Amino acid sequence: MTFRPPSKSFTPRDYLFITFVTILFLTVSITLFFANLTLKSGGDFYVYWAASRGFIFERVDPYSGEIPARVQQLTYGRPARANEKPYILDTSFNILLLYFPFSLFSSPQIARAFFTLLLELGLFALAVISLRLSDWEMPFFFAFLFVIFAVFNFYSIQSIYESSPVVLMGLVYAGILFALRFELDEVAGALIAVSLYYWEVGAPFLFLVLWHVYSEKRSRVLAGFFMLGFTLLAVSFLLYPNWIIPFFRAISNNLRVDYGFNIHSALIYILPAQGKILAWIFTLALVIALGYEWSVAHGADFRRFYWAACLSLAAAPLLGFRTEMENLIVLIIPLALIFAIVHDRWRKIGNALTILLLLIVFLLPWGISRFGESAQNMIFLFLPFFTILGLYWIRWWAIRPPRIWTDLAPRH
């Protein structure tokens, strides 16, 4: 006779709680959906919707000039002007396949509302996973405060307003770190396979991840990557065999567009005389720092790799490539680590110091934005600079395990 431990049955209170949570989730989701219908922008999503729908239903080349023209009409109500984003699709066709389900909606506003709802839920998940990665042993109040900060900060609101897929990229990056940490290697590989776009956001991060995987000889990560990556590539070539050349042509066209931010244009705008040389000095110093930190993280434990991955995300906007304000949303991942170390290591003032830092990062961009378009460069530079300085501030404690008994003492 086999002994079976008694199974715990659900009580009426459990069913009541599950029902309450389900109703609350559906209510919030429906409310957000109808709120999303009132948004006036969303061009970052429309470019994928128009390309997918045009290809499926009209056999329009997704890399042709027809797609930007349609998106500009949806976003601006007219052709884009010289200082406006042209919305040229420069995503590979195998990744575009992931957006095909949204092309089934004939209304662009409804498709955008559903996609933006996905982004809003993903933003919440990004905050939670970032906290989980940081091992922050905090009171519920701080968890709640960080989630509020992550959802309502200036950069998050910009991302939601533009319906930017970078929110999901941030969630994917956090998922990669989470999967690597808990040895879910095939999951990590599959996530890497769907993250191979928005290179200006994640190229340094992905390079470090692949190097880390290779150095640890984690073949299951590569198996997960190639299984999903090969499947997407095979389907893309079956549907559109000749997409490679138009894709690279679209990349070339997008590179010629003078739109977005980089450290050079931002510093030249703020400091016309010294901005150019300061930008080159800082970029060179950052490249050297990344090279050193990557070499140190090579073959090291997860703590050191995690810190170097956070630095890679924070450094990407300052390496000279054109990027956009909403792309900074991925810095929620390193910010969680910074706040976690500050709160845990400075116990006597940790609560007050953490709240102060949260308020600075939350309020300062909103305050600067009141000065209009001229302040955009300062807002762009603020978060990467703050994050890099914060990461180096907490570096010693972040990459080393607790060594003394006070580090291991229970927190009250």
Residue 55 maps to a domain: no
How far apart are the C-alpha atoms of 263 and 377, rounded to whole Å? 9
Q: What contacts 212, CB < 8 A, 6 or more positions away? A: 180, 297, 298, 305
How far apart are the C-alpha atoms of 354 and 375, rounded to whole Å? 26
How far apart are the C-alpha atoms of 50 and 88, rounded to whole Å? 11
Print the domain residue range for 324: 119-238+259-403
Q: Within a 10 A sphere around the Cβ of 54, how many other Cβ atoms?
A: 19
Q: Report residue 307 as tokens.
A: 């810190």
Over the stretch 254-279, which tens digit does the pLDDT of each residue have? Answer: 888 878 889 998 999 888 888 899 99
Whole-prediction pTM: 0.91
Q: How confident is the model at residue 8 (pLDDT cuts 50, 70, 90)?
A: low
φ, ψ of residue 323 to 5 degrees: the values are -145, -175
Helix 108-134 to helix 166-181 angle (10° resolution) is 30
The owner of tokens 């976003």 is 75
Of 127, 132, 123, the C-alpha closest to 178 is 132
- Per-residue pLDDT, averaged over 237-266, amounts to 90
Three-class DSSP category at 323:
strand
- Per-residue pLDDT, averaged over 35-55, amounts to 91
Residue 9 maps to a domain: no
Helix 43-58 to helix 108-134 angle (10° resolution) is 120
Contact in structure between 48 and 87 (CB atoms under 8 Å): no
Contact in structure between 116 and 42 (CB atoms under 8 Å): yes
Compute, in degrees rounded to 10, the torsion defined by CA atoms 66, 68, 74, 79.
Answer: -100
What percent of the chain stands above pLDDT 90? 64
How far apart are the C-alpha atoms of 250 and 60, rounded to whole Å? 15
Question: Which region among 244-258, 318-332, 369-383, 394-408 has the lowest average model confidence (pLDDT)?
Answer: 394-408
Q: Report residue 25 as tokens.
A: 């989730």
Over the stretch 143-177, which tens digit does the pLDDT of each residue have? Answer: 899 999 999 999 999 999 999 999 999 999 999 99
As for how many domains the chain has, the answer is: 1
Over the stretch 91-142, which tens digit does the pLDDT of each residue have? Answer: 999 999 999 999 999 999 999 999 999 999 999 999 999 999 998 877 888 8
How far apart are the C-alpha atoms of 134 and 59, rounded to whole Å? 46
Mean pLDDT of the chain: 89
Q: Report residue 106 as tokens.
A: 């004939």
How far apart are the C-alpha atoms of 367 and 362, rounded to whole Å? 9
How far apart are the C-alpha atoms of 210 and 197, rounded to whole Å? 15
Three-class DSSP category at 404:
coil
Residue 264 maps to a domain: yes
Residue 167 maps to a domain: yes
Residue 250 maps to a domain: no
How far apart are the C-alpha atoms of 371 and 212, rounded to whole Å? 43
Residue 5: predicted pLDDT? 52
Residue 39 maps to a domain: no
Three-class DSSP category at 395:
helix
- Per-residue pLDDT, averaged over 11-26, amounts to 80
Q: Rounded to the nearest 5 degrees, what angle is found at the Cα of 48, between the Cα atoms of 42 and 52?
A: 140
Q: How confident is the model at residue 3 (pLDDT cuts 50, 70, 90)?
A: very low
CA atoms within 13 A on the CB side of 145: 18
Q: What is the DSSP annotation of 176-211?
A: HHHHHHTT-HHHHHHHHHT----HHHHHHHHHHHHH
Residue 300 maps to a domain: yes
Contact in structure between 247 and 92 (CB atoms under 8 Å): yes
Residue 72 maps to a domain: no
Q: Report residue 340 as tokens.
A: 């976690």
How far apart are the C-alpha atoms of 29 and 23, rounded to whole Å? 10
Three-class DSSP category at 84:
coil
How far apart are the C-alpha atoms of 358 and 340, rounded to whole Å? 11
Residue 402: predicted pLDDT? 55
